[in-house]
């Protein structure tokens, strides 16, 4: 869902480059396209959207971007962070949960980027469902937004502020308790994930499917160690499950497995890491609502999990026992016709990849313009986004995608 670029196959934390422009497409019901149009330039089944590429307004010197389901973050070259989209739970971190605008259902939002208050020295960002993370250069982590499951990791799940409809939240960044020497971050529906310098992983927040990986199903408002993991070099957080890429190229997964998103040939959830089977040596991983992607050393992409809308990039493969009979793949399969892939991203039911020549391909559900093909059609096979070239970073979540173009 949301993860730091370093965790998902984007630029490394050491990248000194800033990008000249950021573009977006897809759903815009909460201003998540950042184009000053909270009502959307088009309508997709009654939802404001754009099925063509639009420019995010007022952004420059962007180092990397992160997408949550309804809000986004941009890390600037000076170590500060901008945010836009939904703000009903303070997920924009600008000291308020009441605006500056109102979007779908009169919920607080901002259709243009606003500054996250009190943050500097940031080297990575991640956006979850209603909450956000920032990794500082000193190896500590700050969080803000909704805190009903302890997803802010500050030792409490009852505040410090009350946001939309009285829900516990923080409209300012707070420090995640006890975390240090962090090198990458990721965020899911209600869980935060941190990779430590020693190759271990810590998690906090919601744990209803074992997504904290600590052999329990009890929520935690402070970081807890994922069981049996070592030598990890990349992480990714899905809605209610997580992935870890080890230094030997092996991928481990834990949490919800209703659609085979753990890739171990079953649909049984796991509260401890299990091995994703049938993968070659992997260089990057990404996790979404109910499907997963990995880049292999050869530059190809493997996918597994739900395939109801073609988000795996292969023809539908019905498998009994997956989500009441919905199409899924419980072990990885190769995405059709893709080569030379350098980055991957995934929205709720669609997928995005960046090729080495700076072009972008997309596939899956397109009912809200997620495929940027100027229609609302879906595709089970990758299709080129025609309106962007020279792309250097991608992000996706919910029903929208972001790309940044190089200098």
DSSP 176: P
Q: In what order do the strands lie in the sheet with 379-384?
A: 341-346, 350-355, 360-364, 379-384
Percent of the chain past pLDDT 90, that is, above it, reads 83
Average pLDDT for 247-256: 97
| Residue 174, both tokens | 């707070």
* Dihedral (Cα; 83, 87, 93, 95), 10-degree rounding: 130
Q: Which range, 15-24, 156-165, 313-322, is most confident?
A: 156-165
First vs last Cα of the chain: how many Å apart? 27
Q: Which range, 31-40, 43-52, 65-74, 324-333, is most confident?
A: 65-74
Average pLDDT for 296-313: 95
At residue 165, the 3 state secondary structure works out as helix
Alpha carbon 311 to chain centroid, angstroms: 15
The answer, yes or no, to whether residue 104 has pLDDT greater than 90, is no
Q: What is the pLDDT of residues 217-245, one digit of tens each?
A: 999 999 999 999 999 999 999 999 999 99
Q: How confident is the model at residue 5 (pLDDT cuts 50, 70, 90)?
A: very low
| Residue 188, both tokens | 């899911």
Which pLDDT does position 7 carry in this prediction? 44
Which pLDDT does position 11 carry in this prediction? 36
Q: What is the DSSP string of 135-154?
A: EETTS-EEEEEE-TTSTT-S
Distance (Å, rounded) from C-alpha 33 to C-alpha 75? 16
Is pLDDT larger for residue 15 or for residue 346? Answer: 346
If you classify domain 2-405 with CATH, what class do you get?
mainly beta
Distance (Å, rounded) from C-alpha 49 to C-alpha 41? 6
Closest residue by Cα to residue 179 from 145, 222, 243: 222
Distance (Å, rounded) from C-alpha 55 to C-alpha 192? 29
At residue 274, the 3 state secondary structure works out as strand
The answer, yes or no, to whether residue 304 has pLDDT greater than 50, is yes
pLDDT averaged over every residue in the chain: 92
CB–CB of 11/392 below 8 Å?
A: yes
Distance (Å, rounded) from C-alpha 362 to C-alpha 347? 10
Distances (CA, A) of 238 to 96, 151, 193, 340, 370: 27, 14, 10, 24, 18
Is pLDDT larger for residue 157 or for residue 380? Answer: 380
Average pLDDT for 351-357: 98
Which pLDDT does position 41 carry in this prediction? 60
> If residue 246 lies in a helix (H) or strand (E), which one and from where to where?
strand 241-246
Which pLDDT does position 9 carry in this prediction? 38
Enumerate the β-bridge partners of residue 84: 72
Closest residue by Cα to residue 296 from 232, 342, 357: 342
Which pLDDT does position 306 carry in this prediction? 95
CB–CB of 25/350 below 8 Å?
A: no
CB–CB of 55/376 below 8 Å?
A: no
The answer, yes or no, to whether residue 2 has pLDDT greater than 90, is no
| Residue 220, both tokens | 């935690």
Enumerate the β-bridge partners of residue 303: 293, 333
Average pLDDT for 146-170: 91
Average pLDDT for 29-36: 94
Q: How confident is the model at residue 100 (pLDDT cuts 50, 70, 90)?
A: confident
Average pLDDT for 379-396: 95
Domain ranges of the chain: 2-405
Which pLDDT does position 396 carry in this prediction? 98
Which pLDDT does position 320 carry in this prediction? 66
Which pLDDT does position 401 carry in this prediction? 98
CA atoms within 13 A on the CB side of 218: 8
Average pLDDT for 297-325: 87
């Amino acid at each position: 869902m949301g993860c730091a670029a370093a965790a998902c196959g984007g630029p490394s934390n050491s990248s000194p480059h800033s990008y000249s422009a950021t573009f977006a497409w897809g759903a815009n019901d909460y201003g998540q396209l950042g184009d000053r149009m909270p009502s959307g330039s088009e309508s997709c089944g009654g939802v404001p959207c754009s099925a063509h590429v639009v420019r995010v307004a007022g952004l420059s010197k962007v180092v990397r971007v992160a997408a949550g389901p309804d809000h986004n973050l941009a890390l600037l070259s000076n170590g500060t962070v901008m945010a836009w989209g939904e703000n009903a739970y303070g997920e924009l971190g600008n000291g308020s949960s009441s605006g500056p605008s109102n979007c779908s259902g009169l919920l607080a939002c901002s259709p243009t980027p606003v500054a996250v208050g009190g943050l500097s020295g940031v080297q990575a960002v991640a956006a979850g469902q209603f909450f956000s993370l920032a990794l500082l250069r000193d190896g500590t982590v700050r969080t803000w937004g909704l805190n009903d499951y302890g997803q802010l990791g500050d030792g409490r799940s009852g505040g410090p502020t009350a946001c939309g409809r009285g829900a516990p939240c923080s409209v300012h960044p707070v420090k995640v308790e006890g975390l240090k020497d962090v090198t990458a971050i990721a965020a899911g529906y209600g869980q935060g994930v941190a990779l430590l310098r020693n190759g271990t992983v810590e998690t906090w927040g919601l744990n209803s499917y074992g997504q904290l990986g600590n052999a329990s199903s009890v929520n935690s408002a402070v970081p807890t160690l994922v069981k049996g993991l070592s030598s990890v070099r990349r992480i990714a957080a899905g809605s209610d499950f997580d992935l870890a890429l080890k230094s030997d190229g092996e991928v481990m997964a834990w949490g919800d497995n209703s659609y085979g998103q753990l890739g171990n040939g079953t649909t049984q959830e796991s509260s401890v890491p299990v091995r994703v089977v049938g993968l070659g040596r992997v260089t990057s991983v990404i996790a979404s609502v109910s499907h997963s992607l990995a880049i292999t050393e050869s530059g190809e992409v493997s996918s597994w999990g739900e395939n109801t809308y073609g988000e795996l990039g292969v023809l539908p493969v019905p498998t009994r026992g997956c989500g009441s009979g919905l199409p899924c793949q419980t072990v990885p399969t190769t995405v059709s016709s893709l080569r030379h892939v350098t980055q991957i991203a995934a929205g709720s039911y669609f997928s995005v990849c960046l090729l080495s020549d700076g072009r972008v391909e997309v596939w899956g559900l397109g009912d809200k313009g997620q495929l940027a093909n100027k229609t609302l059609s879906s595709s089970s096979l990758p299709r080129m986004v025609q309106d962007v070239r020279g792309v250097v970073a991608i992000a996706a979540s919910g029903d929208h995608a972001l790309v940044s173009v190089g200098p």
